[in-house]
Amino acid sequence: MASATRLFASARLARPSLVTRAPAQARGYASAASGGGANWPLLLSAAGAAGIGAYAYLQYDPATKKEISAKAHELEDKAKALAHQGEDKAKALVSKGEAKVKDVQAQTDATKEGSGTIGALISDSWTPFTLAKVEDYNHNTKIYHFSFGEDGADKAAGGHVASCLLVRSPDGEDKVVDAKGKPVIRPYTPISPPDQKGSIELMIKEYPTGKITPYMASMKLGQQLLFKGPIQKYKYEPNTFDKGLAIAGGSGITPMYQLISHSLSIPEDKTKWTLMFSNVTEKDILLRKEWDTLAKQHPDRLRVKYVLDKQPWGWKGETGFITPSMISKVFPRKADEKVQAFVCGPPPQVASLAGPKDGMKQGELQGALKELGYSSEEVFKF
């Protein structure tokens, strides 16, 4: 209770620091706008002065009256047009500024709601975190601990469940870029809770022929990586469906861990979960100890089915690729039950279970889940 009070007290204390950033950003836009607007009164007065000067001269030289009068009108028209342009530009910049303030406010609220404290991540700019510790998890996976530094000791990653963050390498000689020279950016789901203060943990499987994961595997303690987020993937609310089916492959397990462990931690949440987790071999199963512990702690709410590509000696679980018949055997659904399925894994697996994602969009529902009669609203692809 005392720690909860501390959390909210720190949220109240820390909140102004983000809120004060908002007007500062708005001011940036507003001053840019008024800077642009400052030219047109000047032009109008210049046009006015030109008009008065022309009028005085005309009293003495009526022969040039027509020409000078036309010039004065032309100048005035130009000044008015510029004034309109300035006004439109100012309006656009002010509304952009207002949108920015709303975004920062929403971020503040989301962070506060999600974690009870202020977020270390910023949704629209890259923040460096320092590699503080690396743990070997298995033959190809490590747990990376990144520190938010002294200034961030009281901050948390924040965000709603389920959300992820984006990662890229800092500028420099060994910056990881794609074929077009643009920085390579990859999404990751922290395995640390969103309200953990001062640091974040990522469980990352290395692809030796990949881009970011070999870079991360080569990082030394004290080196920095850039982070952005949180990026909301699915907004989980307790008791919005009766049964959840999570199908994951390999490192696609991390969003499921965030989602299901969060749901199980809410006493009033009655949602029942089934996890189907496929891997090549037994030693590839990530977070197995954690899943087995959760299943033991919540026998009425979580069932875990491990699936291996090939059946090792003595294996009693499911084997082979996940098929419609395997899904309906492990997760039979009744007509009156509200069900929600989640899929995360290598793109070919996602495609065979639910159809390919369309970039950041969900893409059309296809594959095993469609065959089983799931609707597109009942399936979420991470």
Ligand X SMILES: Cc1cc2nc3c(=O)[nH]c(=O)nc-3n(C[C@H](O)[C@H](O)[C@H](O)COP(=O)(O)OP(=O)(O)OC[C@H]3O[C@@H](n4cnc5c(N)ncnc54)[C@H](O)[C@@H]3O)c2cc1C
The nearest distance, CB 311 to ligand X, in angstroms, is 25
Considering only 26-34, 144-152, 202-210, 217-225, which stretch makes contact with ligand X by CB under 6 A? 202-210
The nearest distance, CB 209 to ligand X, in angstroms, is 3
- CB of 309 closer than 8 Å to CB of 281: yes
261 binds ligand X (CB under 6 A): no
Considering only 68-76, 92-100, 200-208, 327-335, which stretch makes contact with ligand X by CB under 6 A? 200-208
Give the C-alpha distances (Å, rounded to integers) separating 99 from 23, 26, 105. Answer: 12, 9, 10
213 binds ligand X (CB under 6 A): yes
> Interaction with ligand X in 303-362: which residues (CB under 6 A)?
none
- Taking residue 238's Cβ as centre, other Cβ atoms within 10 Å add up to 13
> What is the spatial distance between Cα 40 and Cα 158, in angstroms, rounded to a whole number?
45
The size of the interface with ligand X (CB under 6 A), counted in residues, is 21
363 binds ligand X (CB under 6 A): no
112 binds ligand X (CB under 6 A): no
Residue 341, preceding peptide bond in cis (omega within 30° of 0) = no
- CB of 322 closer than 8 Å to CB of 353: yes
186 binds ligand X (CB under 6 A): yes
116 binds ligand X (CB under 6 A): no
Q: Which of 8, 55, 207, 315 binds ligand X (CB under 6 A)?
A: 207
Q: Which of 189, 263, 271, 278 binds ligand X (CB under 6 A)?
A: 189
Considering only 27-35, 76-84, 201-209, 311-319, which stretch makes contact with ligand X by CB under 6 A? 201-209
Q: Which of 117, 123, 169, 251 binds ligand X (CB under 6 A)?
A: 251
254 binds ligand X (CB under 6 A): yes
259 binds ligand X (CB under 6 A): no
Backbone angles phi, psi at 356, to 5 degrees: -70, 150
205 binds ligand X (CB under 6 A): yes
Q: Which of 36, 183, 187, 193 binds ligand X (CB under 6 A)?
A: 187
Measured from the CB atom, is 154 or 206 closer to ligand X?
Answer: 206
Considering only 56-64, 72-80, 206-214, 306-314, which stretch makes contact with ligand X by CB under 6 A? 206-214
- Taking residue 293's Cβ as centre, other Cβ atoms within 10 Å add up to 11
Give the C-alpha distances (Å, rounded to integers) separating 29 from 86, 100, 193, 374. Answer: 14, 9, 35, 47
263 binds ligand X (CB under 6 A): no
Backbone angles phi, psi at 248, to 5 degrees: -130, 150
> What is the spatial distance between Cα 265 and Cα 166, in angstroms, rounded to a whole number?
26
Measured from the CB atom, is 3 or 209 closer to ligand X?
Answer: 209
Find the residue with minimal CB distance to ligand X: 210
- CB of 275 closer than 8 Å to CB of 263: no
Measured from the CB atom, is 203 or 302 closer to ligand X?
Answer: 203
Q: Which of 2, 209, 313, 332 binds ligand X (CB under 6 A)?
A: 209
Q: Which residues are annotated as a binding site?
A: 186-188, 205, 211-212, 254
Task: Spell out the residues 6+ positions from residue 263 whose beta carbon is closer than 8 angstroms to its own.
Answer: 236, 238, 244, 269, 271, 273, 301
255 binds ligand X (CB under 6 A): yes
The nearest distance, CB 228 to ligand X, in angstroms, is 13
> Interaction with ligand X in 123-182: which residues (CB under 6 A)?
164
Contacts made by residues 201-204, CB under 8 angstroms, sequence distance 24+ = 201/143, 201/144, 201/145, 201/146, 202/143, 202/144, 202/146, 202/167, 203/137, 203/141, 203/142, 203/143, 203/144, 203/251, 203/254, 203/286, 203/287, 204/141, 204/142, 204/143, 204/144, 204/251
> Interaction with ligand X in 53-92: which residues (CB under 6 A)?
none
Q: What angle do CA 55, 56, 59 make, to 5 degrees?
A: 90
Burial class of 48 by CB neighbour count within 10 A (0 to 12, 13 to 18, 19+)? middle
Instruction: List residues near ligand X by CB under 6 A.
Output: 164, 184, 186-189, 202-205, 207, 209-213, 233, 251, 254-255, 382
